[in-house]
């Protein structure tokens, strides 16, 4: 900034860079007048591994004196990091609570792994699993079952068998640690992996994909509906209010009258020793519940019409009905 004619002006070349974690209280006017850049974790095990190995160089893979074990465990840890991040897409099937694992967890685990390999003659598996699973990554986990799942997953990559060339990360045989080689050989193997990984990579059943696909579909539909205009654009069609009122009138006409016990069969409601039959008692309770539902529906439909015309306030419940009617 510089001062001109007694006023503080902004230099035309001045630029302000602001970094922030996602939050709901960030000033909207700052976002509206800014160029937005976001860093999102890559989607998919393949993309995640590719990003991790693109940040490596040959010096990193040669930095440990136990070269073969180091490269095997580095790949296993990278695969573990990718898998626990991708488990989030399955919602509660993946984790009970969604966690934000990031690159700092992976980098810290690399550092601790290298220290254990260089300082110990034998690989201390229990110590590596504890530090990585309970502290580096486990420090973010608040659910006991999630912590158990995370450590069980980690033991699949941190074990004696993982140092062998024939060790598989999944039953399909597509996912494994490549043999000892240079950096490019690992990148070439990652390029051969499927773009969309099957649930068996995470130890889940194939039906888990149904839940994930439904979740993604609901998100897309909700996003499209949330940005749909509620004001007619003058294209000559019906306005949203007209669409909703038409649906409201149709439902109100089709709504049946409350059920009346006197219209039922007399034999059904005959009392024996002052008591109804068991089936009749349940039927009376169901009729009362059904009539209560009909009364709420009739009142809500009438209130919706009043709210559209401005006679009463459009409540949150009525606004939800409005959107549902508009979207059929």
Domain assignment present for residue 222? The answer is no
Supply 174's token pair: 């597509």
Question: Is 7 strand, coil or helix?
Answer: strand
In a domain, 39, yes or no: no
Q: Is residue 115 part of a domain?
A: yes
Closest CA relative to residue 64, chosen from 138, 121, 8, 115 = 115
Domain final position from 216, 243, 269 = 216
Same structural domain for residues 172 and 303?
no
* 224 domain residue, yes or no: no
Tell me how far apart the alpha carbons of residues 100 and 87 are, in angstroms, rounded to a whole number: 11
131 DSSP 8-state letter: I
241 and 290 in one domain?
Answer: yes
Q: How many domains does the chain have?
A: 3
Which backbone phi and psi does 52 adopt, to 5 degrees? Answer: -60, -45
152-157's contacts with Cβ under 8 Å and 24+ in sequence apart are 153/80, 153/83, 153/84, 153/202, 153/203, 154/80, 154/129, 155/129, 156/80, 157/73, 157/76, 157/77, 157/79, 157/80
Q: Is residue 223 part of a domain?
A: no
How far apart CA 77 and CA 117 sit, in angstroms, is 14
Say if residue 197 is in the same domain as residue 317.
Answer: no
The reply to whether 66 and 199 lie within a common domain is: yes
How far is residue 159's CA from residue 156's CA, in Å, rounded to a whole number?
A: 6
N-terminal to C-terminal alpha carbon distance within the chain: 55
Which candidate, 284, 289, 286, places its Cα nearest to that of 268? 284
pLDDT tens, the chain, 328 aa long: 444 445 567 888 888 888 877 777 878 777 778 887 776 767 888 998 999 898 888 888 888 888 888 999 999 999 999 999 888 888 888 889 988 888 888 999 999 999 988 888 888 999 999 999 999 998 889 999 999 999 999 999 998 998 888 888 888 888 888 888 888 898 999 999 888 888 888 888 888 888 888 888 888 888 887 766 655 555 557 788 888 999 999 999 999 999 888 887 777 777 777 787 888 888 889 999 999 999 999 999 999 999 998 898 888 899 889 988 888 8
Asked if residue 287 is part of any domain, the answer here is yes
* Claim to verify: residue 84 and residue 197 sit in the same structural domain: yes
Structure tokens at 279: 């089936």
**Same domain (yes/no): 99, 196:** yes
Domain range enclosing 25:
2-32
């Amino acid at each position: 900034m510089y001062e001109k004619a007694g006023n503080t002006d902004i230099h035309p070349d001045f630029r302000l860079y602001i970094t922030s974690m996602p939050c709901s209280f960030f000033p909207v006017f700052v976002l509206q007048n800014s160029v937005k850049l976001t860093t999102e974790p890559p989607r998919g095990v393949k993309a995640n591994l590719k990003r991790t190995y693109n940040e490596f160089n040959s010096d990193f893979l040669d930095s440990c004196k136990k070269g073969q074990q180091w490269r095997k465990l580095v790949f296993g840890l990278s695969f573990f990091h990718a898998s626990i991040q991708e488990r989030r897409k399955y919602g509660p099937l993946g984790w009970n609570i969604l966690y934000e694992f990031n690159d700092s967890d992976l980098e810290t685990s690399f550092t601790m792994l290298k220290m254990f390999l260089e300082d110990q003659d034998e690989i201390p598996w229990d110590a590596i699993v504890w530090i990585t699973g309970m502290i580096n990554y486990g420090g973010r986990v608040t659910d006991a079952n999630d912590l158990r799942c995370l450590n069980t997953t980690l033991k699949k990559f941190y074990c004696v068998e993982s140092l062998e060339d024939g060790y598989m990360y999944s039953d399909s045989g597509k996912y494994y640690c490549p043999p000892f080689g240079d950096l490019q050989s690992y990148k070439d193997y990652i390029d051969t992996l499927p773009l969309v990984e099957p649930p068996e990579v995470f130890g889940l059943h194939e039906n888990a994909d149904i839940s994930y696909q439904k979740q993604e579909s609901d998100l897309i539909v909700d996003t499209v509906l949330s940005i749909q205009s509620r004001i007619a654009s003058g294209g000559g069609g019906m306005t949203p209010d007209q669409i909703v009122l038409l649906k409201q009138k149709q439902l109100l006409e089709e709504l049946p009258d409350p059920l009346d016990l006197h219209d039922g069969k007399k034999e059904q409601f005959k009392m024996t020793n002052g008591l109804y039959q068991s089936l009749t008692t349940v039927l009376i309770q169901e009729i009362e519940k059904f009539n209560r539902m009909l009364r709420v529906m009739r009142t809500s439909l009438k209130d919706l019409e009043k709210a559209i015309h401005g006679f009463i306030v459009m409540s949150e419940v009525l606004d939800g009905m409005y959107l549902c009617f508009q979207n059929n």
